[in-house]
Amino acid sequence: MLSAPDQNAIPPSPARPFGHYALKRQLGKSELTTLWLAIDQRTGLETMLSVPRIQPMGASGLGNWLLAARRAARLDHPNLVRVADCGVHEQWPYVAVDRRAGVTLDERLTQHPLPVLDDATVWIESVLRGLAFAHDAGLAHHDLQLHQIVINERGQASVMALGVGPFDGADSAHADVAGATPILRAQRAAAERDVLATGLLLHRLLVGAYALDCDDIGRAIARIAPRGRELVRLPWTTPQPIAEALRAIANRSTSPQVRLRYRSARTFLGAIAGWREAAAEDNGGPVGLLLDRLHGVGHLPALPGLATRVQRVTSIESTRTDEIARHLLPDMALSFELLKTLSSARVQGTQIPGNGPVLTLRRIVALIGVDGVRAAANSLRTWPGALEEERAQSLRQTIDTVRLAGHLAQAVRPAGYDPEAVYLVTVLQNLGRLLLGYHFAEEAEQIHQLMQPVPAVRSEGEIVSPPQPGLDEEAAAYAVLGVTIDTLGNAAARHWGLGNEIAHMIRRLPTDAPVRKPDNDNELLRIVASAANEAIEALALPPPKSATALNEVVVRYARTLRLTSRVLDDALAEAREALASDGIRPSPRDALEETADIGDLGGVSVSEVGAATALDREQHG
């Protein structure tokens, strides 16, 4: 039985005519656009009608607006809502989409203010896919808001009303040659604005509240640097736990430093998709791509001259395995291939005597024979492999830096520990960085840029913008890839079957944790390798910071490795000599050659920094 109507109910407002449509109610608005729920009087179907709030100027402005809207309507992508109609009524242009496409994100959040984290990131990923497709076609949205995102009955998100905002000429398809550069610049600026707006959408979904308490994303953008002075970052306390990788992605997307933000929808999409796939542990995202590329192009290309070196040291049957290993160790590509070959042999059931991880090339050579060494060398791509010359130069510098770290580890290792094992563990602690430089060269450059500090900007002697620190490596990698660099290295090590003991050794010690006395030999190898890698990274800093950072390494490892400033000075000099004489010429533009010698860091050696350790005072007065 039907209930009696409520006598106190407020009757719905009568529909307002708008051309072929009858406007029922407003679904959302911003300073630039309004969205109406309307009835198409020709079909009787509900429609969502997007109308700009700023009327295009004159006939040419209206014509250009319609031209851009119709170009957008021709785009066909699952994350762009199909346009049902676009036209003009009394000089007001509009874009219409079928209401059956779904509800707006604004409506969805009215019912569920804080979505499940997985839903939120899936929606953002979908929005970015649609925007990336549109931006590739030279089109932008201009006013991305919650009421311009549609969620269908399957929970999938799509962008609607592309280009409905005020027309600024950026989407014109008929610009003359003289105006091409300004138009391309306008297109790029509009696309970057869409990307920043998506970052603010992500903030709203994760926090459950609008950034800057502003429900108009366009107004919020105007308050963020460089146009405004406001800062948008995720609060440390959020309604639901947020992984550090996702936090780094969200904070980068709204960074007050324009250079740190995502400059395109595709880079933002790569980070969020990489995080989602890595979090699902399905070997997707950057890890899945890396594993595919390991199959396709190998881990690293062999350095120039490898074939000659292998032929020379394996052609004489009487050559000792330690002599062969000494000539092969400097080539990381071959070292990794030999480790992989040995692990593969173990997996396949080949009878290899001995227990525990094999971490010396001489033992691997003894186990697989010179024919196995030749086969491993022949399987490698020659330098520079799949890289272009400029990217290859950057990878070569990384390789030379890692080689120096390996030699330094050999120089500071305690007596009785095998130098080859120490070297290999040190190199393997950099496996992710090496693979990043080869397989994700563009992303490696982005990470490097995010880590660079920005100096203060001065105007007429006054500081206009204070200096800004760069991100640390972990945060930068999260923001670009959605995973850490070490995640890439660990995935490759597992893929090669290197085993849990090696996987533990190649994880660097956390820099924010104290160095404790090792429980076993494997842990000591890990400590020595970590110390060497930290020292080499400190060496790469500008001279004033470098000396301080090197002294911190001494303090950190003094008790465990009996490290002193003088010992580190001597070890670094020894490592440089070893790098110059290990049979592989360093890169001509090697960054290490541009760094001052350790004994001449701005005229100050490590042992002269001050802040000497107790052990230093005991041994050197």
Mind listing the pLDDT tens digit for each residue in 351-371? 444 556 788 888 988 888 888
In this model, does residue 165 exceed pLDDT 80?
no
Task: With cut-offs at 50, 70 and 90, classify the pLDDT of residue 144.
Answer: very high
Going from N- to C-terminal start, the domains of the chain cover: 20-282, 397-451+468-474+507-621
Which pair of structure tokens corresponds to residue 604?
A: 């100050």
Q: Which residues pair with 48 in a beta bridge?
A: 37, 97
Which of helix, strand or coil describes residue 227? coil
H or E, element range at 119: helix 117-136
Query: Bigger pLDDT: 130 or 519?
Result: 130
Average confidence (pLDDT) over 519-532: 94
More confident residue, 154 or 407: 407
Q: What is the pLDDT of residue 226?
A: 80
What mean pLDDT comes out for the span 68-78?
93
Mean pLDDT of 587-610: 40
Distance CA 335, CA 496 (A): 13
Q: Virtual CA dihedral for 141, 142, 143, 149, nearest 10 degrees?
A: 10
- Per-residue pLDDT band at 160 (split at 50, 70, 90): very high
Q: Find how far residue 520's CA is from the centre of its chain.
A: 35
* Residue with more model confidence, 173 or 88: 88
What pLDDT is stored for residue 5 in this prediction? Answer: 40
Q: What stretch of H or E contains 24?
A: strand 21-29
Sequence-ordered list of residues with C-beta below 8 angstroms from that of 36, at least 6 positions apart, any chain: 18, 21, 23, 24, 25, 26, 27, 48, 49, 50, 51
pLDDT score for 453: 83
- Is the pLDDT score of 127 beyond 90? yes
Residue 181: predicted pLDDT = 62
Q: pLDDT band for position 588 (50/70/90)? A: low
Least confident interval from 148-157, 414-423, 600-609: 600-609
- Percent of all residues in the chain with a pLDDT value above 70, rounded to a whole number: 85
- Residue 76, pLDDT above cutoff 90: yes
Torsional sign, CA 47, 50, 53, 58: negative
Give the CA angle between residues 488, 491, 494 to the nearest 5°: 150
Q: Distance between CA 306 and CA 587 in Å, rounded?
A: 15
Q: Whose structure tokens read 């080499």?
A: 536
Note the residue count of the chain.
621
- pLDDT score at 458: 66
pLDDT score of 356:
63
**Confidence category of residue 200, pLDDT binned at 50, 70, 90:** very high
Mean pLDDT of 277-303: 82
pLDDT on residue 225: 81
Looking at residue 84, its pLDDT comes to 94
Model pLDDT, residue 355: 54
The residues near 198 (Cβ < 8 Å, ≥ 6 apart) are 124, 127, 128, 131, 144, 253, 265, 268
DSSP 8-state secondary structure symbol assigned to residue 601: B
Q: What is the pLDDT of residues 216-267, one digit of tens each?
A: 999 999 999 888 888 899 998 888 888 888 988 999 999 888 888 998 999 9
pLDDT, averaged across the chain: 84
Reply yes or no on whether the pLDDT at 282 is more than 60: no
- Residue type (1 letter), 130: G
Q: DSSP secondary structure string, 471-515? A: PPHHHHHHHHHSS-HHHHHHHHHHHHT--HHHHHHTSPPPTTSPP
Asked whether residue 46 carries a pLDDT value surpassing 90, the answer given is yes
Q: Which residues of 294-315 are buried (b: 16+ CB within 10 A; e: fewer)?
A: beeebbbbbbeebeebbeebbe
Determine the pLDDT at residue 479. Answer: 87
Q: Omega into 182 within 30° of 0, i.e. cis?
A: no
3-state percent helix, strand, coil for the chain, nearest multiple of 5: 55, 10, 35
Q: How far is CA 303 from CA 57, 118, 330, 377, 545, in A?
A: 62, 44, 9, 11, 33
In Å, what is the CA distance from 522 to each residue of 48, 210, 422? 65, 50, 10
On whether the CB atoms of residues 587 and 393 are closer than 8 A, the answer is: yes
What residue type is 241 in one-letter code? P
Burial of 543 (0-12, 13-18, 19+ CB in 10 A): middle
**Residues 566, 547 contacting (CB under 8 angstroms):** no
d(CA 531, CA 158): 50
> Per the confidence metrics, is the pTM higher than 0.75?
no
Report the Cα–Cα distance between both ends of the chain, in Å, rounded. Answer: 99
CATH class of 20-282: mainly alpha
